Chains A and B, each alone.
Chain A
Amino acid sequence: MDDSPLTIDLIGEVKAAIADDFSRQARRLGCRYADLRLEVAESQYAWAENGNSKGSGKDDALAFGIRVIAGDGISAPGYYGQTLGAADRARLARVIRGGLRHAHARAIANARGKSAARTAFPSLAGAFCDSRLAAAPVHRDTVPAVFEVDPRAVPLADIVAFTREISSAVKATAPTIAFNVIAAITQISRELFVSTEGALIDQAVALTQGTCYVVAQEGAVTQELYDAVGHQRGWEVLSRGAQDPPGVPMLSFPDFRTFATTLAGDAVRLTRARPAPTTEGEVTVVTDPHFTALVAHEIIGHPTELDRALKMETGYAGRSWLLRSLDETQVGKQIASPLVTAFSDPSLPGFGQYRYDHEGVPARRVVHIDRGIFQGFMNSRQTAAIFGGEPNGHWKATDPSLIPLIRMSNTVFARGDHDPRDIIKQIDHGYYLVGHRTPSIAESRENFRISAMKVYEIRNGELGQLFRDGGIMADSQAYLRQVDAVGTDFRLIPIPNCGKGQPMQSKRVGNGGPTLRSRAILTGGAA
């Protein structure tokens, strides 16, 4: 028995043989198309509460997922996923063959059902289409992980001590810090993608993240703040912080201890602040890059996921106001101020960076809004075949056993020309929102409400009173159309927990933008 832990080296050892065996088996079964994702991840993590260690782990994970498109007349998809362990090392090819047979049988059953439905319900079944994938170039490539401090080389005891000490430092920030949780994870993963079209892509990724949750309480007033830092790099992300790229960084945060204690200080100050007022109507609002990031996420990112727009997720995630039907979309129409440009770009640093998506398509920048005009969506090969256009590499899963969905990469508002200090100086009266908290978005993303960590009143171009528990509420299109200043201070913010899918896939993505000025209703807090 091989008792050694699973390592990412396994992918390098098996990829050629697995790719060859998979393709042969898929052809023998008569699959029109099949692909396989196989991943090993090695991770270490620890967490502490109020200065006490609560848990840690050093573990490895192995899993695979298969997609098959098959059918005698009309074709349909079938999927299979399985979590594996060290014991499966010696029988990996056999297990994958079993999964392929399962996915194929599922696709055949689906195809027969679709064909029968077309016969039984002719008036409804006209919409049932052959399952097709838009053409995409086939790649064979190896992408190494990038890091300075190898996630595998950090002693687990050091990670445990690190989280415990930072949790103690957060607790010591002030006597009014009632509770805190500090968590850290560092890992390296390596995924193999093969397809019956001849793709063979071997991608390794390092990832390190720290999260801080802090509760401050003064009298009857409680403030809970939660935030995270992270990057697809090694442990240096938490021990030293990140400035990427160096010089004029888009992704920038301090070492994790400084980050967490600063957040704690904010929570303490906010307990002494008054609750924000609720305004009768729209007022001038300025959002800092951290708040702008969540606006980008909710009203740019999600409604431009083409599977949502094509109503493939109506049941549990909603649709998009940007597409009513294939003949009735906002493509080519003005939906925002001419100052607004927004895009998704997997080449930018941070959580949203990758070279190939999970169907082997090279990831590339997708412009959603160009100077106020709506341009298009993030897509997959399947949705591109329905809507048109080339696949742009945004089909991703959080685990290889799960089906990929269209996910944001780095979805952002582009930088503008305004000095962010002038954006505030130009205002007689308004509000400045710093740091995002919680979103609440309408079913088709047509309006939104997002709360802020801090709200400052602006009077005569100067920041004044600090308020707690404030936010903004607006019609999405009205908000975008009323943007009248876009700052030069572009930033990327790591978002650790974007949820989508059944079963749920909580994914790390990147969002960002600069300081923005627009109009919205200010929503307040309770006294």
Chain B
Amino acid sequence: MIPTRTLAHAGGQALELLRGQEDLVEAEVFVAANTSLVARVHFTSHIPCNGVEEPKSVESVGLGIQAVFRAPEGPRVGFGSEPNDLTPDGVRRALAKARQAAVSDPEFVSLPRPGRERRRLRRYHDPALLRLSDSDL
């Protein structure tokens, strides 16, 4: 499992790269690593079954960029993402997709501004879940 400090570093690198874009008004970067580990139990006494029917996992890693670009007709808003590449190359690909997909929306005001509330919820997960093996499950 990719550590959160790696995700945070990738996010910081992405913001640095975005700050150098002359046509960029503002942007958000979202970086995530997801692993879903599922064991579906299925038992029927009177029909042949596996007991554990679907031991499976799905993994995905990526970053997404929501960006507002400066344009003669007014700001253009676009989103682009790149899976499985948290390097500056991945950021550049995501940004290119966001720029290509940007649209002019007269109702757009701005990206959300940070609120005043401070984060209070920390370490609320069971760290053992991130180390769970198939045998354990």
Contacts and interface: CB of A to CB of B under 8 A. Distances in A.
Nearest to B36: A503
B105 interface: yes
Contacts of B89: 1, 3, 87
A76 B42 CA distance: 13
B75 to A, nearest CB: 12
Chain B: interface size category: 35 or more
B17 to A, nearest CB: 15
Contacts, number: 151
A112 B52 CA distance: 11
A353 interface: no
B120 to A, nearest CB: 30
A519 B11 CA distance: 60
A502 B38 contact: yes
Given A54-B103, A58-B100, A109-B55, A128 B49 contact: yes
B64 to A, nearest CB: 11
Nearest to A53: B103
Interface string B19-50: 00000000000000000101010111111111
A107 B42 CA distance: 16
B78 to A, nearest CB: 8
Contacts of A127: 43-49
Interface residues of A, number: 58
A487 to B, nearest CB: 39
Contacts of B79: 55, 57
B84 A56 contact: no
Chain A contact residues: helix, strand, loop or mixed = mixed
Contacts of B84: 83-85, 87-88
A87 B90 contact: yes
A56 B51 contact: no
Nearest to B37: A106
A6 to B, nearest CB: 10
Given A110-B52, A112-B135, 5 more contacts: A76-B52, A85-B83, A85-B85, A106-B55, A131-B50
Interface of B: 36, 38, 40, 42-62, 77-85, 87, 89-90, 92-93, 97, 100-107, 133-135
Interface of A: 1, 3, 46, 52-59, 61-62, 76-88, 102, 105-107, 109-110, 112-114, 117, 124-129, 131, 156, 160, 310-312, 314-315, 325-326, 386, 401-403, 502-503
12 contacts: A59-B80, A59-B97, A105-B134, A109-B134, A110-B134, A112-B135, A114-B52, A127-B43, A156-B101, A160-B103, A325-B46, A401-B60
